[in-house]
Amino acid sequence: MTLPLVIGNWKMNMLASEACDMARSLVDRLSATEGAEVVVAPPFTSLYPVSQIVKGSRLGLAGQNFCSEKKGAYTGEVSIEMLKDVGCGYALIGHSERRQLFGETDEEVNKKVHLAMQMGITAVVCVGETQDQRKAGETLNVIETQLSGCLAGLSSESIAHLAIAYEPVWAIGTGSNATPDQAVEIHKFIRKFLFGSQGFSEEIGARILYGGSVTPENCKELLGEEEIDGALVGGASLNFESFCAIIKSSLES
């Protein structure tokens, strides 16, 4: 059985000192708990100091984004090698905020996925439909298009370093999460895509997470579903007790 994966996406929140305090508290709490793979994704400026705190602990570190080029004259960008250098074992790729606010395309996501795999960094690829797309009955088409674009050219072995986060755009930061049934439907579809049409090895596996307004109140129900291998948590990961409650639920489910 694979351990649940719970990732806290801190987005553009917390100064370095706050991020370090939070990381210290999480490291302490995790040392007293069994199981669950727990990861935090602080802003770039906090990655290095946080990495010094999580070193040797059970808390993993993720970048929220990185450049689709390896290195060079790309002012303002951060490379995958730089993420690895500061101790990131994971990277979020194609978060809907990157797609919607910064115009990231499936093609760029695909380049980043390949770069992450080359570095041995677990790529957490985010997919999800908007409210309008769901209303128009296009959800499955949208997910399929995103998955085929984002995962093009991946080998079956490389998916050991892959997680897919299903994050319906309408559920992100809105307080209205997908129901377990809605999430399970899409998770099943993603699983079928990966291990059916793409022919990836189910034995190697890739975890499929749910994200979008996950809270201590709804996580038990969501994470209790066999199809849901973990959670990508935004808002609720900024509060220590809320995030710990979600981690605890992931273990009980």
Residues carrying an active site annotation: 95, 167
- Residue 164 DSSP one-character state: E
User: Cβ(198)–Cβ(149) under 8 Å?
Assistant: no
Q: Is the sign of the CA dihedral 231, 4, 13, 69 positive or negative?
A: negative
214 binds ligand PGA (CB under 6 A): yes
Taking CB atoms, the residue at the shortest distance from ligand PGA is 234
CB of 11 to ligand PGA, least distance (A): 7
Q: Quick one: 216 or 234, whose CB is closer to ligand PGA?
A: 234
Alpha carbon 252 to chain centroid, angstroms: 21
Least separation in angstroms between residue 165's CB and ligand PGA is 7
User: Closest Cα to residue 57, out of 30, 79, 78?
Assistant: 30
Residue 129 φ/ψ region, left for φ over 0, alpha for ψ in the -120 to 50 degree band, beta for the rest: beta
Cβ nearer to ligand PGA, comparing 121 with 236: 236
Compute the least distance from the CB of residue 39 to ligand PGA, in Å. Answer: 12
**232 belongs to the binding site for ligand PGA (CB under 6 A):** yes
Spatial distance between the Cα atoms of 249 and 224, rounded to a whole number of angstroms: 8
Residue 9 found at the interface with ligand PGA (CB under 6 A): yes
Give the x-and-dash track for 184-213 against ligand PGA (CB under 6 A): ---------------------------xxx
Burial of 152 (0-12, 13-18, 19+ CB in 10 A): middle
Among 234, 242, 244, 249, binds ligand PGA (CB under 6 A): 234
42 in contact with ligand PGA (CB under 6 A): no
- C-beta closer to ligand PGA: residue 195 or 228: 228
Stretch that binds ligand PGA, among 53-61, 70-78, 83-91, 231-239 (CB under 6 A): 231-239
Establish if 250 lies at the interface with ligand PGA (CB under 6 A): no
Q: Is 168 in the site for ligand PGA (CB under 6 A)?
A: no
User: Phi/psi of residue 153, each to 5°?
Assistant: 80, 10
**Pairwise CA distance, residues 137 & 81, whole Å:** 40
Residues 6+ apart with CB under 8 A from 171: 128, 177, 178, 211, 212, 213
Under the binding rule (CB under 6 A), the answer on residue 173 touching ligand PGA is yes
Q: Tell me: does residue 129 bind ligand PGA (CB under 6 A).
A: no
Within its chain, how far is the Cα of 47 from the centroid?
Answer: 16
Which residues make up the interface to ligand PGA (CB under 6 A)? 9, 167, 172-173, 211-214, 232-236
